[in-house]
Structure 1
Amino acid sequence: MGQNQIKLSGYSFSASNPVVGKILASEKLPNVKLSSKSETLFTLGKDNTIQVKKSALQTPADFLELVLVSENGKTDTFHIVKDEFVSNRVIAHRGAWKNTGATENSIAALQHAIKMGCTGSEFDIHMSSDSVLFVHHDHDMNGVHLEKTPAAELAKLKLANGESLPTLEAHLLEGLKQNKTKLILEIKPSSISKERGQALAQKVVEMVQKHKAQGWVDYISFDYDILKKVLELDPYARVAYLEGNKTPAELAKDGFFGLDYNQGHLQKNPHWIEEAHQLGLTVNVWTVNDPKVMDWLLERNVDFITTNEPELLLEKVKK
């Protein structure tokens, strides 16, 4: 499973914004053209800007397929998502599980987050000893260490709701059935080594690219180097840092999409919210379950709030 040879600066379109983005310049790929089928859906400008044709803007499909052909005859295929993602600032932490009867980080929790209309559903990724990606928060489950156990054994584990421990692949495939809720993918730092964390980042990006999910996925992590690896592999990926020990200026300098800090960090440094916005960064805050803290953050116009109480926050943002 290889990476895309061609890189794009964007993977979505809307009726009001038909511009998808640009093909990133590369000495190895000086000339790229649209496939014959893609020519009916897109235009490719001399400056390598891809735009959806007017006739394709009203497609009922969740995405359009874009096939680009390089001069060596190789093709890369992308799914350009029709941007109908809701914009209510509510991100369900580990999916919507607390008040739904689902298990956190389960496929059911993702489905509930989508059904209730959250702008995003967050989930956590670890890598098995034989490099298969699984969705779970902690490094171990029922005493089984995920990073030190082969995938065949992890596949036998059951969540409290009866689901098998989900793979990243299964989680992506479920999320790609719709275009209303973003998939907020947290890459967990390795408990074994920094090198393994880098390998995990590579595997995650490859899996996202395999399923052409770039337009649906935002990446977050506590490991700064993991996020820098993601950007190395996909320069326009949307990445946000969780640890809280970097200023907005530092994040902007390294090409990050946003900051995603604990509520305590932003209560101590409320000026970071305005600074981040001035630098073009998004501001997400975790994990906020207190109604008063929600109100404080909403008053300061943060972009997203990650919560175990999405139902409560949804009611607040509707007012």
Structure 2
Amino acid sequence: MERKLLFIALFFAVFFAGCSTEDVNNFTSKPVNVEKPDTTIPNDENDDPIVIVDPIIENIVVAHRGAWKKNKLPHNSIASLKEAIRLKCKGSEFDICISADDSLIVSHDPYYNNLLISTSKYSELATLKLSNGEILPTLRDYVKTTKSNTSTTLLYCELKTDKLPAARKKVFVEKTNKLIKELEAENIITISSFDYYILKLMREANPLIDLQYLNGDVSPEQLKSDKITGACYNISVFKNHNDWIESARLNNISLSVWTLNDSESIKWAMNNKFNALVTDEPELAIDLAKQ
């Protein structure tokens, strides 16, 4: 029996002599905080830990026509969208028009290089590139780029209806809704417009998608009645109708404000707990949010 015990003692002495301090420490268990679990995931020993936060809650910055200004990128370009994604903005705002062949063109203005989009085919428009050499993007391009590059930055898509008759507005809604469903993008896109009629058409076509009205002449109570889920108004509207801020919250209407490019206005929106602020200065807004 004594020989057996001596053999066991010698075995453990040799085993632990060959172990490093790190190996020995690995045998000790660490207490697990069940009530407050770890909130960081290290990638590897050379990377900073990734802090798990909800960027949609922490970040209310929406880049107006993408993050274009600092790097002199074209408005409403894939490059400005990617820069908004790189900055980890809550969203990237852009505009779409419908062409003569029912293509959904990313453009703020009804004209592109002197061609009226609503009476031109995409094949004609696409021959004229953006200033950075990009081909004129489409809604499909924007959705696919977003889905392949981020899981947090959202799309804020404004439907432009200038010079469109009612019949074409219906086609516009039909084509937009069809593409969003095809690309399974309902959870990453909000549709907005100054045209109340087209938002009501979109709600009839899609009962789930987020909708924002931009013009500022409809109360939160009326928006709720018409099933429009958000008010995205100019800051002057909310300052003149301060009661609409509280009314929107009571009626479960999301609050967004445009277009804030100075520190005072940006801080005002943050202090009033808006869900989103639209800005041409996303870098400034992000810096202010960190203060």
Same fold (TM over 0.5): yes
Aligned counterpart for 1:136 among listed residues 107, 131, 153: 107
Q: 2:252 aligns with which of 280, 284, 302?
A: 280
Structure-2 separation of matches of 1:272 and 1:227: 20
| Letter in structure 2 aligned against 1:150 | K
SS in 2 for 1:163: coil
Aligned equivalents of 1:318, 1:281: Cα separation in 2: 26
**In structure 1, C-alpha distance between the alignment counterparts of 2:185 and 2:218, rounded to whole Å:** 28
What amino acid is aligned across from residue 183 of structure 1 in structure 2? L
Cα pair 1:85 1:182 within 8 Å, conserved: no
Answer yes or no: is 1:86 the counterpart of 2:56.
yes
1:85, distance to aligned residue in structure 2 (A): 4.9
Aligned to 1:208: 180
Give, in whole Å, the separation in 2 of the partners of 1:193 and 1:96.
32
The answer on whether the counterparts of 1:85 and 1:179 sit within 8 Å (CA) in structure 2 is: no
Report the TM-score when normalising by structure 1: 0.72
CA shift for structure 1 position 164 = 1.1
Determine if the alignment matches structure 1 residue 246 to structure 2 residue 218: yes
Contact 2:112 2:125 in 1 (8 A): no
Equivalent residues in 2 for 1:252-271, closer than 5 Å = 252-271=224-243
Of 225, 244, 250, the residue aligned with 2:197 is 225
Corresponding residue of 1:160: 131
Please state how far the C-alpha of 1:202 moved relative to its aligned partner: 1.2
- Residue in 1 aligned with 2:94? 123
Q: Give the unaligned 5+ runs of structure 1.
A: 1-82
Identity of aligned residues (%): 35
CA distance in 1, matches of 2:170, 2:240: 31
4+ aligned runs moved over 4 Å, structure 1: none
Distance 1:291 1:172 in 2: 31
Alpha-carbon separation, structure 2, partners of 1:196 and 1:85: 37
Residues in 1 aligned to 2:167 and 2:258: alpha-carbon distance in whole angstroms: 27
Displacement, 1:278? 1.1
Aligned equivalent of 2:289: 317
User: Superposed, which structure 2 residues align to 1:52-63 within 5 Å?
Assistant: none
- Distance, in Å, in 1 between the alignment partners of 2:289 and 2:147 is 25
Q: Which runs of 5+ in 2 are unaligned?
A: 1-52
Are 1:295 and 2:258 counterparts? no
> Partners in 2 of 1:84 and 1:150 — Cα distance?
41
| 1:146-169 Cα shifts (integer Å, max 9, x gaps) | 111111101112111111110111
| Contact 1:284 1:303 survives alignment (8 Å) | yes
Question: Partner of 1:189: helix, strand, or coil?
Answer: coil
User: Computing the radius of gyration over CA atoms, which structure comes out larger, 1 or 2?
Assistant: 2
What is the number of residues matched between the two proteins? Answer: 237
Hey, what's the Cα distance between the residues in 2 that align with 1:148 and 1:176?
Answer: 30
Between Structure 1 and Structure 2, the one with more strand by share is 1
Cα distance in 1 between the residues matched to 2:56 and 2:179: 25
**Cα distance in structure 1, aligned partners of 2:131 and 2:109:** 15
> TM-score of the superposition, structure 2-length normalised?
0.79
